[in-house]
Amino acid sequence: MAGKYQELGVASDYDPSYGLRQDEHIVELRGTQGVKKYREMRENDPVIGAVLMAMDMMLRSVVWRVEGGSEKGRAYVESEIHGMADRTWEEFVSDVLSFLPYGFSIFEIVMKRREDGLIGLKKLAPRAQWTIDRFECPKGTILGVWQNSAQRQAFIPYDRMLHFRTSAINNEPSGRSVLRSAYTSWRYQNQIKYIEAVAIERELNGLPIARVPSVYMGSDATPNQKAFLNSIKSIVRDVKRNEQGYIILPSDLQADDDGKLTNKYMVEFDLIASKGTRDIDTGKVILRYQQDMARAVMADFVMLGANDRGSFALSKSKSDLFLKALEGYMDTIQGVLNRRLLPRLWEDNKGLLGPEDMPKLARGRVAPVDLEELGQFIQRLTLSGADLFPDDKLDKHLRDIAGLPEGDPNRPTPNADMATNPDE
């Protein structure tokens, strides 16, 4: 009989220890082949590449602050995040953002002893998603990850790595790629692009057609005749109009019933030109799939202007939703750093740094603030009688979102006396 506090159910009937996303119903997206497919989408598709580049450029430029804790703790964390030898903090954030197309990103924490005696970061080493074979997850608890590389297989324990993922639904360690919902549209538009390219080539070149004597195509054709027919098939299949294209045909003439030569060649080659236009506009079909792909990552505003529809208000509402989603991803990164990285640093420096010294890493804003609207809002609050100033926290917040430098704590405050002596 189960105990009172014993866990009875499971999050999912899928065990990540057998490989990445083995419960994926599209076979091409299971395991490491799914990671490679997302890599192909990321690197080869212009729409997906543009959206991911926009995400990367916007999020890697977000300002990070070290808040709370003691002055000693803040100085230590500042020196660590800006003192990594192999990369800048912005490059690290950019590497973390690879969890967007792949669903997850893994970093191995490599430590070193500093000159002041503290233990610090030597590097946060990224581990490419296509080298990750599986997670070790007995009973749903992530113990580590197995990596297969060209050199060797390695197991990275969970306490020595940073694990970022876009989604934690059912505690799935490989997360969910933001490109997952765009995959079907991407696959269909690729097929149409290929068909369109072949059709354009055939349209420009014409459809090749060859004529050979019927005996060459008969079942009683000699081996030489069959070999010649196969060579003609290869010519018809591979003919292209370019600087290296050519066709060599026999100049032998056909004979009539009396054995006399006619003016017709035994083998002829021609191109049939297309007549009329096609009923299907492939450009509109491809555009529709591209809009679906952008919509899947909430970035369909990048497609505004591709047709005669769209407005400034629509663009603003869509871009605002996109920026809110980016802020959610930054919250995910911030949470992992504060839950996993900082406690690990404090654990290795036990006795040298106390719990009261530990600060927090705080991200800056992603979405820009309309200062004109904010100014009008503050003005209305003031006119309604709201007592907003002096307020150091509000002053710091307004300076931060406006991109203004920090205020001088020793500066005179005109309303300080009135706030202290409201009856005077």
Q: Is 218 inside a domain boundary?
A: yes
Total structural domains within the chain? 3
324 with 267, same domain: the answer is: no
Q: What is the DSSP letter of 350?
A: B
Q: Is 295 inside a domain boundary?
A: no
With cut-offs at 50, 70 and 90, classify the pLDDT of residue 130.
very high
- In whole angstroms, what is the distance from residue 251 CA to residue 352 CA? 94
Q: Which residues pair with 272 in a beta bridge?
A: 207
Query: Nearest CA to 186 among 34, 29, 48?
Result: 48
Per residue in 173-188, pLDDT (tens digit) is 899 999 999 999 999 9
- Please check whether residue 18 is in contact with residue 134, taking contact to mean a CB–CB distance below 8 angstroms: yes
165 with 68, same domain: the answer is: yes
237 with 91, same domain: the answer is: no
Residue 329 pLDDT: 92
130 with 225, same domain: the answer is: no
Per residue in 296-333, pLDDT (tens digit) is 887 777 666 555 555 545 566 777 788 888 999 999 99
Q: Is 191 inside a domain boundary?
A: no
113 with 143, same domain: the answer is: yes
241 with 166, same domain: the answer is: no
80 with 142, same domain: the answer is: yes
Q: Is 161 inside a domain boundary?
A: yes
Residue 52 pLDDT: 92
Identity of the highest mean pLDDT range in 36-40, 78-82, 194-198, 242-246: 36-40
Q: Quick check: helix, strand or coil at residue 300?
A: helix
Query: Is the predicted pLDDT of residue 247 greater than 80, yes or no?
Result: no
* Mean pLDDT along residues 209-230: 86
Share of residues in the chain with pLDDT > 90 (%): 34
In b/e form, how buried is each residue of 228-253, taking b as 16+ CB within 10 angstroms? bbeebeebeeebeeeeeeeeeeeeee
* Average pLDDT across the chain, whole number: 82
Q: Is 346 inside a domain boundary?
A: yes
359 with 383, same domain: the answer is: no
221 with 152, same domain: the answer is: no
Residue 412 pLDDT: 66
Residue 277 pLDDT: 60
325 with 410, same domain: the answer is: no
Q: CA of 355: how far to CAs of 3, 52, 66, 321, 359, in Å?
A: 35, 38, 15, 38, 9
251 with 164, same domain: the answer is: no
Q: Is 215 inside a domain boundary?
A: yes
Identity of the highest mean pLDDT range in 13-22, 102-111, 290-299, 370-379: 102-111
Q: Is 138 inside a domain boundary?
A: yes
Domain region containing 73: 16-179+317-363
* Mean pLDDT along residues 94-108: 94
Whole-model pTM? 0.74
Q: Is 190 inside a domain boundary?
A: no
* Mean pLDDT along residues 407-412: 68
Identity of the highest mean pLDDT range in 96-110, 129-143, 396-410: 96-110
- Please check whether residue 104 is in contact with residue 164, taking contact to mean a CB–CB distance below 8 angstroms: yes
35 with 91, same domain: the answer is: yes
